[in-house]
A and B are shown apart, each in its own frame.
Chain A
């Protein structure tokens, strides 16, 4: 995965947009901040999401974090393997650790997302 081809939300989700399809997950920074993942819950296919709507939750020993959809779309698939093997998420958050695939219904919110350079700067500021 070329991380520069992704866009990022301030809540640490990444999104890969290909035409009107999208794949969503959470960043390596988010995974490392959480550490010790114990649980993830993802939506079933068919769920209609608005931009910034909660689509699931990921929990670590430390805290529970809601997952927010970076864009409006219908859930086409979710990564059922994650619930049984959180190592996929912690080891490979951009490929095997993907969370949901969407059919974008309104691309407007994409304009508010950060590119890779902006996101790296954002993470650096959050780490302090």
Chain B
């Protein structure tokens, strides 16, 4: 039997009703109270997520930037100090190996990868590193990472740190002192809300976790599990590797062209992506709003009349909209907003309408 990895806050989760599941080799909380309650806390107050299972890889050395630009579809060389970008790691044929965030910090570049792909990406790095003078250090187990997400995040985190958080732009980060300890703080997240992600040394994780929850408890801040992380990212129409993305999907078809810089002279998958871009009639990633309350799950087929025109990659009941929503790949003919299709849910056809993505967008101040 494989031993599951545990984060620094594992004992807290089990002591506080966390329902623990095997997630990508880690024993992680899927929920503490209810997915819907935790989801609403994030939208209305704040939620605290243990995301220490995410892979954290530091790139250093003279060729670190050049190597990252070779591995990633988005531009690394043009990152401003502190800037964070979403990017894909592609194979030569354009298929997605992972979707990642790359951070430029003063002393290092950081790559945050999906827990489920960490070992695969470490292998991929080793396979492609020959001509680059770069050291890659896996800091996943030596460090802890949390996400504080929701409108109260700024006011909760600010008193614990020595850097002003308000001026920090979305998708920027900085080294900071948090509870007097070295940390990396960024204004990033996977929920569609404003919020911060914080990396500290593993032995500091539990104290930071408990301090944030104690500070926010009276304002309705909740610990939040992977269950609501999924419903939140789905409302925000963010792709999830293993659902919208896999090695047989390319980022252009996935609607992630904003993170693919074909003007870069070289990166793995560039030639294939250029050819894919010129290919007509590729499937399109769309949002579906279903009639009724039944939930279409990954693999549900999408029909126009008797003809199969697509398949569902993720579905849930949206706590914010109180509607059954899905993301799906469909033929371009059915992809325009307002198109009507049917989704097969366990043998029953349910009518659905193509709607604009994201399903949910926070009001920007």
Contact = CB atoms under 8 A, between A and B. Distances in A.
Interface of A: 35-36, 38-39, 57, 59, 61-62, 64
B332 to A, nearest CB: 30
27 contacts: A35-B34, A35-B35, A36-B34, A36-B35, A36-B36, A36-B317, A38-B293, A38-B294, A38-B295, A38-B317, A38-B324, A39-B292, A39-B293, A39-B294, A57-B346, A59-B293, A61-B35, A61-B227, A61-B295, A61-B316, A61-B317, A61-B319, A62-B227, A64-B294, A64-B295, A64-B297, A64-B346
A39 B36 CA distance: 14
B31 interface: yes
A39 B295 contact: yes
B231 interface: yes
Given A38-B295, A61-B319, A62-B30, 12 more contacts: A35-B31, A35-B34, A36-B317, A57-B346, A59-B294, A59-B295, A61-B35, A61-B36, A61-B295, A64-B294, A64-B295, A64-B297
A39 B348 CA distance: 14
Interface residues of B, number: 17
B231 A61 contact: yes
Contacts of B227: 61-62
A61 B125 CA distance: 37
Interface in B223-279: 227, 231
Interface string B279-297: 0000000000000111101
Contacts of B319: 61
A59 B35 CA distance: 14
Contacts of B295: 38-39, 59, 61, 64
Contacts of A62: 30, 35, 227
A64 B31 CA distance: 17
Interface string B143-160: 000000000000000000
Contacts of A39: 292-295
A81 B290 CA distance: 23
Contacts of A61: 35-36, 227, 231, 295, 316-317, 319
Nearest to B293: A39
Contacts of B292: 39
A66 B264 CA distance: 51
A62 to B, nearest CB: 6
Interface string B314-326: 0011010000100
A35 B294 CA distance: 15
A35 B227 CA distance: 11
Q: Which of A38, A57, A64 neighbours the largest number of chain B CB atoms within 10 Å of its CB?
A: A38
A94 to B, nearest CB: 21
Nearest to A39: B293
Contacts of A36: 34-36, 317
Q: Which 7 A-B pairs have the closest CB atoms?
A: A39-B293, A38-B317, A36-B36, A61-B35, A38-B293, A35-B34, A36-B35
A36 B316 CA distance: 11
A117 to B, nearest CB: 25
Nearest to A59: B295
Nearest to A90: B34
